[in-house]
Amino acid sequence: MTWREIVKVARQGAKLHLCDSTWARIDNARAIVDHIVAQGERAYGISTGLGALSDVMLQGPQLAQLSRNTLLSHACGVGAPLTVEQTRAIMCAAVNNYAHGHSGISRSVVEALIALLNLDITPSVPSQGSVGYLTHMAHIGVALLGFGEVMWQGRPMLAMQALREVGMAPLELRAKDGLSLVNGTPCMTGLACLGLADAFNLAEWADIIGVMSFEALRGQIDAFDEVVLALKPHPGIQRVGANLRALLAGSEVIASSRGIRTQDAMSIRSIPQIHGACRDQLIHAERQINAELASATDNPLVMGTPENYRVLSQSNPHGESLAMAADLLCIAVAELAGVAERRLDRLINPLVSGLPAFLVSQPGVNSGMMIAQYVAASLVGENRHLAQPAVVDNFVTSALQEDHLSLGTGAALKLLKVIDNTTQVLAIEYLLAAQAFEFLKEQRFGVGTGSAWRLLREQVPPYDEDRWLAPDIESAARLVRKEPQLDSLRSGSLSR
């Protein structure tokens, strides 16, 4: 699967099915595990304890008991639960991992996970407690045993009750099932898929909203000249430059502003360079995430056939690539918010905007958009803390056995928080840029910027005097969370 398909299952409710050849791979790997059990061979996590207990040999009923105990003992996360779509993304990424056919997990476990996804039964999973894997998947796994709570039909319910109502029996685990459920990188991978989808969406909106601010501040269009930008041939810069020029096409505001200043402030004239650099990091992260989805990330991995096999104890569950990708996405998205806050600050400052103070008539009796900028500054400040890389931190776990950790799940979770913050910052800039347009509307705006202005005005009226502003910000944020109709914006044919 690709990250886009993970998002379709997690967020849009697409049904998940495995083809016959995939089931054959899963069954072949399971047959190898069954052969090892029957022969009484030593193999990590199949016939031994886990982590620092990897030298303890087990046999007979202990093997199934280890799988059950693994889930129960590892399901010790804390904090607020993940959202439904976040848990679904993790579950889908886990199924994707098993589909490679190197896990050795029982077919019944994979069938049960797919059933939960397709029936829209979502285990309640605490958000905190993972250094990369283990706890989140353990909470998903115990729901298959009938423990804990799930969300079903929009309400919380005991897992055992939900299983009964859909005719599913609690799982009976076998050797290695518990370990296969908790290890690997599906937690950080699933969350990163959602983060990547939102980051791409924000990058598109950042271009639209940023160029509205550029137009409202009567920027000098030479900074976006195709010949100029071609001299800095980063792909992201070329993409953003083309977007900005298309959105501004036909703008009388820009045409009449040529030469009013020698050059604009950096936050205004550097939109292609800043947004473009962020886009390039998104493309890099996309490659890393798709490569992880193409990876088998269990430990141990089983290969071959029951007649000729290998069991390989290795470190594919280490999520260094994903952690770095999530950290990089975090930095890129935080930068989109940071430069947006600088632009919106200029919009409300009459010393540089040439517009009424705080974008409201009769400033003084009206505070206008003054405090909205405070809110944006607060969110950008929080983003700066969150953008500190998680991957460079480290701890020692499992009695020195696991002495280097990726912290990729933490990296993905803070990425999602930065995305939420950046959505709000862009929503505030959208409000302010649209309000600035109210003072310039005697001239024609760009074909795309004018369309974006009218789109917001369908939800939020002009700010003629002070009113409760929080609902306006939320209305703008709802638009920013949706994928923009870029082609329609550029052509001015946006459907209403």
Please report, for residues 109, 206, 276, 489, the alpha-carbon distance to residue 209 in angstroms, rounded to integers and kept in the order given.
46, 5, 15, 12
What tokens appear for 284 in the block? 């890099």
CB 268 within 8 A of CB 342: no
- Spell out a b/e string for 460-470, using b for 16 or more CB atoms within 10 Å of the CB, else e: beebeeeeebe
Catalytic residue among 44, 133, 430, 463: 44
CB 126 within 8 A of CB 80: yes
Give the distance from CA 446 to its chain's centroid.
Answer: 32
CB 208 within 8 A of CB 454: no
Q: List CB contacts of 286: < 8 A, sequence separation 6 or more.
A: 3, 196
What tokens appear for 217 in the block? 């501040």
CB 142 within 8 A of CB 32: no
CB 351 within 8 A of CB 434: no
Closest CA to 439 of 346, 365, 366, 361: 361
Amino acid sitting at position 62:
Q
Judging by DSSP bridges, how do beta strands 155-158 and 149-152 pair with one another?
antiparallel
H/E element holding 271? helix 271-293
CA–CA dist 231, 477 (Å, integer): 35
Q: List CB contacts of 364: < 8 A, sequence separation 6 or more.
A: none
CA–CA dist 133, 288 (Å, integer): 18
CB 383 within 8 A of CB 418: yes
Residue 155: strand, helix, or coil: strand
**Catalytic annotation present for 430:** no
CA–CA dist 164, 158 (Å, integer): 10
Cβ count near 432 (within 10 Å) = 32
- Spell out a b/e string for 5-35, using b for 16 or more CB atoms within 10 Å of the CB, else e: ebbbbbbeeeebebeeebeebbebbbbbbbe
Q: Indicate which residues carry an active-site annotation.
A: 44
